[in-house]
Amino acid sequence: MNLDTLNPMKKHTFIGPEAIQKIYQLCDELEFGKNVLLVYDKTTKGLAGDTIAKILSDYDYNVEGYAITDSNEFNVDYTEAIIKRTKRDFVIGIGGGKSIDVAKLASYNCDIPWISVPTAISHDGFASSRSSITCTNGKESKKAQSPLGLIGDTNIIFKAPSRNYYSGVMDILSNEIAVYDCMLAESKTGRKVDQEALDISFSCASEILLNPEEFKNKTQDSIAKLIELGIMSGKAMQLAGDSSPASGFEHKTSHALDQILKIPKMHGEQVGVGTLGAKAAYEMLGEKTKYSFDVTLNAFKTIGLPVCYPCLEISQKDVLEAYMMANKINPGRYTIGNLVEESGISWEKILKSRKLI
Ligand SMILES: [Zn+2]
């Protein structure tokens, strides 16, 4: 697909207050056809789904809607069945995560495009090509497709809890480690990731690291900026052909925590503190990084983000178990976690060096 189809500076992307009103314009521009399936949940139907259905119906679109109950295989299969039975031309995913994941995967499996309408920005999934789906063996990240259009209505997203916004900020900040891990992997294993993908991804994290004041408060402007960074992060993953520019060891620790904790914290919160954990390891092992630990820590503090695991109410025991488990997740991808294991230095020592546990 053409990478320019979704770009904050170009067409097919409407970001700002009342952007939702542009949905017919976006659909007209994209010319996918007139038969659309809206995928939402009970809440996001009311937040944006009903408005979109009304606008598109007024502009002669044939609109079907499906309210998912979860982002699991059943809901994906059911969505695909509706797409086929009612001969849909495209899908609009409306929500904070789950509806988006279902819309993304079901449209991919049926070989039709989808448009993303996030109602919260708690992670970068709204613009990425991977779907997080609950399967019989737990959560799985499945290959799907990027959206070809996006509506980021900052009025709607502003109403989502602040915790979602700050989680979204941390998911972008984690790109810093993901990029260092890609560079480390190349030097240790020869696995090469597209340089442009790494540059784009790193610039997303830099934007926040170097201007933390701009992200300190949840405002319409900071939300719009965060959407743009999420789109660019998604583009980096698309260029690389996998999630590696935006998902390094810090994401592995979060996936491990998802398995260990009875009630996991938000994805962005776990990868955020995981970013500090990985950064402390880079520092202790003397591996060069563009920004020092203190630059990253300062950004976290300025924005008011959690800077340790006790801040998230995660115990030392669970953290150490997660860090030990992390290397076993997606083991083909070399990260700072592998280097720590080879060095023989304990995670307890590393994490305590920066008061993270
Ligand atoms: Zn993430």
C-alpha distances out from residue 304 to 154, 166, 301, 307, 308, Å: 21, 9, 5, 9, 12
Distance in Å, CA 57 to ligand 1 centroid = 35
Q: Distance from the CA of 35 to the center of ligand 1, in angstroms?
A: 32
* 162-353 shares the fold of 3-158: no
The C-alpha atoms of residue 89 and residue 247 are separated, in whole angstroms, by 32
Residue 121 alpha carbon to ligand 1 centre in Å: 11
Mean pLDDT for all residues in the chain:
95
Ligand 1 centroid – CA 271 distance (Å): 7
Which residue's entry shows tokens 């991804």? Answer: 201
Q: Kindly give the distance from the C-alpha atom of residue 192 to the centroid of ligand 1, in angstroms, as a whole number.
A: 21
CA 128 to ligand 1 centroid distance, Å: 10
Cα 54 to ligand 1 centroid, rounded to whole Å: 33
| Predicted pLDDT at 6 | 55
Q: How confident is the model at residue 7 (pLDDT cuts 50, 70, 90)?
A: low
- 51 CA from centroid of ligand 1 (Å): 29
In terms of phi and psi (left: phi > 0; alpha: psi -120 to 50; beta: otherwise), the region of 118 is: beta
Q: How far is the CA of 233 from the centre of ligand 1 (A)?
A: 10
Centroid of ligand 1 to alpha carbon of 268 (angstroms): 6
Q: Supply 140's token pair.
A: 């799985």
Confidence of residue 2 (pLDDT cuts 50, 70, 90): very low
At residue 136, the pLDDT reads: 85
> What pLDDT is attached to residue 3?
44
- Packing angle, helices 175-189 and 336-343, rounded to 10: 60
- Taking 60 as the threshold, does the pLDDT of residue 165 lie above it? yes
* CATH label, 3-158, candidates 3.10.310.30, 3.40.710.10, 3.30.70.1070, 3.40.50.1970: 3.40.50.1970
| Ranges of each domain in the chain | 3-158, 162-353
Cα of 172 to ligand 1 centre, how many Å? 8
Three-class secondary structure of residue 135 per DSSP: strand
Pick the CATH number of 162-353 from 3.40.50.970, 1.10.150.20, 1.20.1090.10, 3.30.70.2200: 1.20.1090.10
CA 125 / ligand 1 centre spacing (Å): 7
Centre of ligand 1 to C-alpha 293, Å, is 20
Q: Which two tokens stand for residue 344?
A: 């023989």
**15 CA distance to ligand 1 middle (Å):** 21
pLDDT of residue 302: 98
Question: How big is the CA angle at 11 (ends 6 and 17), to the nearest 5 degrees?
Answer: 95
- Tell me whether residue 40 is exposed, middle or buried, using C-beta atoms within 10 angstroms of its C-beta: 0 to 12, 13 to 18, 19 or more: buried
Q: Crossing angle, helix 162-173 and helix 220-240, to 10 degrees?
A: 40
pLDDT by residue (tens digit) across 98-148? Answer: 999 999 999 999 999 999 999 999 999 999 989 999 988 778 889 999 999
Taking Cα atoms as reference points, which of 119, 112, 111 lies closest to residue 94? Answer: 119
Q: How far is the CA of 107 from the centre of ligand 1 (A)?
A: 22
CA angle 316, 320, 326 (to 5 degrees): 145
What 3-state DSSP class applies to 357?
A: coil
How far is it, in rounded angstroms, from Cα 97 to Cα 268? 12
Taking 70 as the threshold, does the pLDDT of residue 20 lie above it? Answer: yes
Cα 246 to middle of ligand 1, angstroms: 7
Residue 99 identity: S
What's the CA-to-centroid distance between 67 and ligand 1, angstroms?
25
* Residue 124 DSSP class: G
Please say if the pLDDT value at position 160 is more than 60: yes
Q: In the predicted model, is pLDDT for residue 1 greater than 50?
A: no
175: CA distance to ligand 1 center in Å? Answer: 9
Angle between helices 175-189 and 195-210 (to 10 degrees): 140
CA 255 to centroid of ligand 1, rounded, Å: 10
Strands 90-95 and 130-135: unpaired
As a whole number of angstroms, the distance between CA 41 and CA 296 comes to 36
pLDDT at 300: 98
pLDDT at 10: 60
Percent residues over pLDDT 70 in the chain: 97
Q: How far is the CA of 317 from the centre of ligand 1 (A)?
A: 23
For residue 181, the CA-to-ligand 1 centroid distance in Å is: 15
| Residue-wise pLDDT tens digits, 294-307 | 999 999 999 999 99
Report how far ligand 1's centroid is from the alpha carbon of 176 (Å).
12
Would you state the structure tokens that stand for residue 99, as one six-digit string?
């509806």
| Cβ count within 10 A of residue 31 | 9
267 CA → ligand 1 middle, Å: 7
297 C-alpha vs ligand 1 centroid, how far in Å?
19
Q: Ligand 1 centroid vs 340 CA: distance in angstroms?
A: 22
221-265 per-position pLDDT tens digit: 999 999 999 999 999 998 998 999 999 999 999 999 999 999 999
